[in-house]
Amino acid sequence: MAIVDTINSVSQFRGFFEKMDRDYFSYDAYETMFNYYDNLSGDSGENIEMDVIAFCGEWNQYDDADEVYNEYSNVLDSDGFAPKGDDEDEDEFGKRLLAALDNYTTVYHLKDGKWLLIAF
C-alpha cells in the first residue's frame, strides 16, 4: 500500500526538486519531464513515483548541440555520425544530432534552446 500525491502542474513538479535542493533544470526541462511522466502514467495506467533523486540521475540537460555531441561522440562516431562540418549551421547539425540520438534514447531539443535527454 502507498500514499499517492497527485501533481497537477509543472510548478508543483519543480517544487519537489526545489525542496530537495536539486533544482538543476530549466523551466522548459521541468515542463518536458512533467509531460513525459504524465503521458507515461496515462499510457501505462500506473502511477509514477515522484523520486527526485532518480529523475536527476535519469535526465541530463545540456546547453547546446556541441555539448551533447561532446558527451556522446564516442557512441555516435562509432555509429558513423559525422561531426559538425565547417559549412554546417547549428540548426542543421542539431537536426542530425536529434535524429541520431533518437536511435538510442529519449531526447528533446527544448524551446529555450537547451537539450534534455535520458542518459544512456
User: What are the pLDDT digits (tens) for 19-50?
Assistant: 999 999 999 999 999 999 999 999 999 999 99
Helix axes 90-101, 65-78, angle to 10 degrees: 50
**What are the residue boundaries of the structural domains of the chain, listed by start?**
10-118
> How many other β-carbons are positioned within 10 Å of the β-carbon of residue 50?
16
The model carries a pTM of: 0.89
pLDDT tens digits, 62-91: 999 999 999 999 999 999 999 998 999 999
Among 61, 56, 69, 36, smallest CA distance to 113 is for 61
Q: 6 pLDDT exceeds 90?
A: no
Residue 1 has pLDDT above 70, yes or no: no
What is the rounded distance in angstroms from the CA atom of residue 31 to the CA atom of residue 120?
Answer: 21
The span from the CA of 52 to the CA of 37, in Å, is: 12
Q: Would you say the C-alpha torsion 55, 58, 60, 65 has a positive or negative sign? A: negative
